Amino acid sequence: MLRDITLGQYYQADSVLHRLDPRVKLIGTIAYIIALFMCTNVWGYLAVTVFLCSIIVISKVPVKFMLKGMKAILFLIIITVCFNMFMTQGEVLVSFWRLKITKEGLIVAAKMAIRLSYLIIGSSLMTLTTTPNQLTDGLEKLLGPLKKIHMPVHEIAMMMSIALRFIPILMEETDKIMKAQMARGANFDTGNIFQKAKSLVPLLVPLFISAFRRANDLAMAMEARCYKGGESRTKMKPLKYQGRDIAGYLILVGFVAAVVATRWIP
Amino acid sequence: MSLIFNHVSHQYDPDAAIPVLALKDVNLKIEDGGFYGLIGHTGSGKSTLVQHMNGLLKPTAGEIYYEGRDICDKDFDIKSLRHEVGLVFQYPEHQLFEATVFEDVCFGPKNMGLSKKDAELRAFEALTQVGLDAEYFYASPFELSGGQKRRVAIAGVLAMKPKILILDEPTAGLDPKGRDDILNQIKKLHDEQGITIVLVSHSMEDVANYVDTIIVMNKGEVMYNDSPKNVFTHVEELEAIGLAAPSVTYIMRALSAQGFDVDLTATTTREAADTIINALSDRM
Ligand SMILES: Nc1ncnc2c1ncn2[C@@H]1O[C@H](COP(=O)(O)OP(=O)(O)O)[C@@H](O)[C@H]1O
Ligand SMILES: [Mg+2]
């Protein structure tokens, strides 16, 4: 159920993608998203699909594992698709009651569905193959120049990685509290929208309290170990580019160029 | 009037590559008025098992019958099952959410559709039963100590007047006194109200003095389901699965090895004291 959301989870495996420098993966994800939204025709989508599929194969993360993550956001995708399908003006194909499905609407909806699911698969691939620690390191290194203008880069990176780390824990907690309240006769899925919203109180209050308690414990544990971010902090495993990272960048440049090139294919 | 498990298995992830069964072919009968101890190492499937008892989890194979009816039947009233089989989760204090202790305990009865007055009467009764001082009834549950919070949470389930009360590790994280207090309250509920109790624990010491049947779980399977005396004769097997017999059993064994004529099946401290006195008076 809730714990099926794979976004923000790490999948242990031994692949080139796992060993890649996190900076390459971060920049790669951004480049991939930009490329995805630059597609204008079938060829563009084909290029992205080929890229995504090869990455999935290389990552050694089971496809099933990724699809399970998709299940959770299927609802979001369906809503987006419906809106696009019914709201776009154009040549009417089918109409019933007050709803019309137009040809343009279908195309927009299909594009939207592909983009959304590719976006989510692509970005979850990054978190699936990168540990939160690596992710922080990569972010911090990439945003390093911003320190010059007094941005608390280290702190931001730390906060982000902690937030990511907490997603699965909070999911599990939600599941547990939900069950505990159901054992007391709580009902989460019946009634009108107001009753439903009200029925969430017994879930949300303990969840928030638990999140604060965890945050507090974590802060305490960090301080107990004399954690101090920023300037004088050194790294146990400083990031260094290897041959494969350079190759990764080259492949990325090639990929983006290919997608851009498809714009000129009629 | 009982809860029967018939060849129940449970798999959390039905499409895992290597199927891992959290429960494996469990056969059990929870009789009315019994006091059961469910024991097993962490991860042995105790929590999974008890969540089947009130229908929070459904078996992936096998059937569960409550009072002769399959709880997975479409027309089975799962809500009323949850009123009759009360389940107190591990660390139940994490589920408190209302502004006052009293209101929180009212949550269960209100969900049963009782009137405000009836719900309050039950809350009052339940809070008294768990031995919480009346001065805390209108305090915020978050201001209480760990042991007090746990009592409130137990009262929250008790207020539904369940016929079977299941407590998942009710003593986890409590100090020795808090532990004994809670266990004694639970025993009182069993003795005075006739509620069937299922007490989950990973400590033999906890249950040895209270229960009349011990169910030992190991890797999702029921290993023993017998009286404490009989279960504790398998000391070596218990140790092999990461459990231990109560210290009384070890003391009896040591005394016996020293040539004292003590009763090896003594499990409670009371029985131990008696048999030691007997053995000593024999010697005199
Ligand atoms: N919600 C869940 N999803 C997947 N696996 C679970 C879940 N809860 C428990 N498990 C697994 O089932 C097994 C039994 O767990 P549990 O019933 O919690 O044991 P216990 O309560 O005896 O410590 C463990 O291997 C655990 O990892
Ligand atoms: Mg447990």
Predicted-complex ipTM score: 0.87
Residues 6+ apart with CB under 8 A from B224: B214, B215, B216, B230, B231, B234
- Cα-to-centroid distance, B48 and ligand 1 (Å): 6
Q: How far is Cα B213 from Cα B232, in angstroms, rounded to an integer?
A: 12
**Digits of tens for pLDDT over chain A (266 positions)?**
444 555 557 788 888 889 999 999 999 999 999 999 888 888 889 999 999 999 999 988 888 878 777 777 888 888 888 888 877 777 777 777 777 778 888 888 888 888 888 998 898 888 889 887 788 888 888 888 888 888 888 888 888 878 877 887 888 899 999 999 999 988 887 778 888 888 889 999 999 999 999 999 999 999 999 888 767 778 788 888 889 999 999 999 999 999 988 888 77
- B40 falls in which pLDDT band (50, 70, 90)? very high
Q: Which segments within chain B are labelled E, that is strand? A: 2-10, 23-31, 35-40, 61-66, 69-70, 85-88, 164-168, 196-201, 213-218, 221-226
- Average the pLDDT over B179-194 and give the result: 92
b/e per residue A199-223 (b: at least 16 CB within 10 A): beebbebbbeebeeeeeeeeeeeee
Instruction: Identify any residues that bridge with B214 across adjacent strands, giving them in sequence order.
Output: B37, B226
Residue B283 lies in a domain: yes
- Cα-to-centroid distance, B90 and ligand 2 (Å): 7
User: In the prediction, which pLDDT does A107 show?
Assistant: 85
Q: Say which residue the tokens 């998942």 belong to.
A: B168
Task: State which ligand 1 atom lies nearest to the alpha carbon of B168.
Answer: 21
HSE-CB of A255 using CA atoms within 13 angstroms: 26
User: Which two three-digit tokens encode residue B91?
Assistant: 């660390």
Chain A residues touching residue B108 (CB < 8 angstroms): 184-185
* Element holding B179 (H helix, E strand): helix B176-193
User: In the prediction, which pLDDT does A235 show?
Assistant: 79
Residue B65 lies in a domain: no
The count of domains in chain B is: 1
Quick check: A221 contacting B, CB < 8 Å?
no
Q: What is the DSSP letter of B266?
A: -
Q: pLDDT tens, A53-105?
A: 999 999 888 888 787 777 778 888 888 888 888 777 777 777 777 777 788 88
For residue B15, which of B52, B49, B56, B60 has the smallest C-alpha distance?
A: B60
Give pTM, 2 decimals. Answer: 0.77
Residue B256 lies in a domain: yes
Residue B194 lies in a domain: no
* Element holding B249 (H helix, E strand): helix B247-257
Interchain CB distance below 8 Å, A184 and B56: no
Residues of B with CB under 8 A from a CB of A: 15, 17, 51, 54, 56, 79, 82-83, 86-89, 92, 94-97, 107-108, 111-112, 142, 156-157, 160
Residue B259 lies in a domain: yes
Interchain CB distance below 8 Å, A184 and B157: yes
Q: How far is Cα B66 from Cα B69, in angstroms, rounded to an integer?
A: 5
Is the minimum distance from the CB of B22 to ligand 1 under 6 angstroms?
A: yes
Residue B28 lies in a domain: no
* Residue of the CA atom closest to atom 16 of ligand 1: B45
Q: Residue B275: which domain range?
A: 246-284
Q: How far is Cα A49 from Cα A97, in angstroms, rounded to an integer?
A: 37
Interchain CB distance below 8 Å, A185 and B108: yes
Residue B68 lies in a domain: no
Residue B40 lies in a domain: no
**Among the partner residues B51, B86, B111, nearest to A186 by beta-carbon distance:** B111
